[in-house]
A and B are shown apart, each in its own frame.
Chain A
Amino acid sequence: MSGHSTYEPKTGIERWLDTRLPIIRFSVDLLDFPTPKNLNYWWTFGGILAVCLVTQIVTGVILAMHYVPNATLAFDSVEHIMRDVNYGWLIRYIHANGASMMFLAVYIHMFRGLYYGSYKAPREVLWLLGMIIYLLMVITAFFGYVLPWGQMSFWGATVITNILGAVPVIGPSITTWLWGGFAVDDPTLNRFFSLHYLLPFVIAGVVVLHIWALHVPGNNNPTGVNVKSEADTVPFHPYYTVKDGFGIGVFLILFAAFVFYNPDGMGHAENFTPANPLVTPQHIVPEWYLLPYYAMLRAVPNKLLGVLTMFGAIGVLFVLPWLDRSKVRSMRYRPTARIFLGLFLIVCLILGWCGAHEPDATVIPGVGAGFVLGDYGINTDVWLSRFGAVCYFLYLIPVMLFLPLFETPLPVPESISTPVLSHPASVPAGATAAPEKKG
């Protein structure tokens, strides 16, 4: 990939193959890839996500052997998987909880990138490809949630597809085209199933590009400084295969705890009632990983602007590499930026809380809704969502752009091998420190 091949074909067959399809060289180079030696456990989430994707595809392919994408049969076919297919309950629980676990991992992976500045030059394309994967994940997860054809599946699909109706002039036509009819119905279910099966393979393709784009500049690292010499790196295998392996093991324990002991914990009771277009559930809520966007959508009292806000919330992340003006990559050396990122994380969690509750729900209990500002009392979910949405964009645009003008970063180390000189809470250089424990 970038001219550091250490592979030497030993046998005749290997030499023959190497001049025709150097696949062994390619694999060996991947395994030997020089990787910064100071990556901490936050860097294991890339490997964890790869495991998640493979798990979702394998379980999904098996589920598709038993699932029937038909509005009258889908619900019962899912129950058939749960009841009669050998270990069908296990495969389905892995798949359903696997989606949540994959989003948990991807959010940690993205925040890792935000904290350590992994999106900055020369890794902009790597970040863009990651954002494309994330966007595809959101779409795939949404399609997947519709397939069991319970009440929440149906009404979630209705609410989300109606969003496109907000597009001026052509919106209603697009919605009808997407539905394949005049409401969410059998044709909608069929195409959602088709796309739900297709998109994971598209994701896998973009993941290949993502890894390619990773291997051109190489990994970022907790110090954010570039690799200066071979002393800064170790070969990916066995050093990071084993470290990632340990991270994956810990992650799988959490995953298994959900699958075996709380498999419906992240679902909704409503979805165990078959879809009924004539009965609207009292609370229509998306899965937890989409709640912040849902809160932003509802925060804006104009449908089109609400939709633009929601898509803008994802869209602005695409241009992040060009918004952030700081010369220092890692927030380890940007104490002020670190505080802002912490606040941003809290804002995302608050928005998630807002998305899960009714717009008129009171935020601080016991004091009523407060004085009415515009349409709602000030102490309601909807006003907290508005506050959260404003903070969300304030962080991603003005703070990213202008904070570097005012902040004083800490001294950045010369190289990865000497970070201890300027790392605030560290031991003297030369000591066998274990920075991965400080995370």
Chain B
Amino acid sequence: MDPEAVANEIRSRLAADDPAALEMIWSEYASDLLGYLAGLHCSRNDAEDTLQEVFVTIARKRTYVAGARLLKPYLFQLARNVALNRLKRNKRIRDRVECMSDWLVPVGTALPDEDRIPKLAAGLAELPEKQRSVLVLKFYRDKTLREIGELLGISENTAASCYRYGIEKLRQVMMDDQNERFDRARSAHHEGVR
């Protein structure tokens, strides 16, 4: 079904207080929203709690949502606002190490180095919010830079810049980590030789 037709259907159902609208929003947008929120919070649990709050907000402010011209970007903006409010309300600075381990999981059966997950997640956590969101949506939600720009309310060029700077910063983190591991391995090797 055409995404715009779906959005129109959701709008009209929301306007009619039809709970089916919530189900439709879930099937159409929940995965993207959850991924975006996971990137914002760097935490699966926080992302899920925020997603619930987002849906409750959608239900409460359904007239606004029904009147949104661009439904998906509107929901992303709404999700961002809820997430930032939640962070502000909780007033807690999350321990990066604690939160970084639960929102990214290894693919398949291949077991990577145990410390690699924290390093990649830690690198993402160090990025500014926009850069992190762009990378998460690009790599984990397969969005194009244009789509990301639309969802985040930024231009495609800005999204591209965020992507470039994000990658650069991440590369730095990963490079330092790799060099450090290489140095550690070489030292161990020298110790063994001696």
Q: Is chain B found bound to chain A in the same assembly?
A: no
